[in-house]
Structure formats: C-alpha cells, structure tokens
C-alpha cells in the first residue's frame, strides 16, 4: 500500500473514531435524561416507589455499561487500525 493511501486511511480512522466518541458523549446524557422521566412519575406512586427506583438503578447500570462498551470497542478498533496502517508490510 502506498504511503499516501496509508496517510489518508489514518486520517479517516482518526476522523471516524473521534466522530463515534463525540456522538456517544453527546447521546449518553440525553439518553439518561429521557430514561429518567417515567421513573420520576413512577416514584411518586407510594406503592411502587421502591421497585421503580430499583429498576431505574438497574437500567442506569445497563445503559452505563453499554455506552462504556461502545467507547471501549471504538478505542480498540481505532488503535488496531492505526497500528495496522503504520506497518510497512503489505498484506
């Protein structure tokens, strides 16, 4: 692969990984905010207040884990792609 092609692909890799990271950083807080609305209502009902809070905590933990996974995979893909593109060997 020609060096100019490698340079362009490294730039594309950087652009895509930053775009994914920025998108996740923007969406995650909005997701949390929207997901909180039904629980805000449900926790006002005395008979289901405690279960609603427990379910909200569980959903928040799952959501946090999901976004962390997306960020981790994005970093892994970016680092792997950059490493392969820095290699001088042609496959």
Q: How far apart are CA 84 and CA 11, in angstroms?
A: 13
Sign of dihedral through CA atoms 75, 80, 81, 85? Answer: positive
| Cα three-residue angle 78-23-56, rounded to 5 degrees | 115
**Closest Cα partner for 56 from 32, 75, 77, 79?**
32
Quote the pTM value.
0.84
pLDDT of 32-64, one tens digit each? 999 999 999 999 999 999 999 999 999 999 999
pLDDT of 6-36, one tens digit each? 999 999 999 999 999 999 999 999 999 999 9
């Amino acid at each position: 692969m020609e060096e100019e092609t490698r340079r362009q692909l490294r730039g594309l890799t950087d652009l895509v990984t930053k775009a994914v990271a920025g998108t996740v950083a923007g969406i995650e807080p909005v997701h949390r905010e929207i997901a909180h609305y039904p629980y805000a209502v449900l926790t006002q009902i005395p008979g289901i207040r405690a279960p609603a809070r427990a379910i909200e905590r569980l959903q928040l933990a799952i959501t946090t884990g999901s976004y962390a996974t997306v960020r981790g995979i994005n970093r892994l893909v970016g680092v792997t792609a950059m490493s392969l593109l820095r290699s001088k060997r042609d496959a």
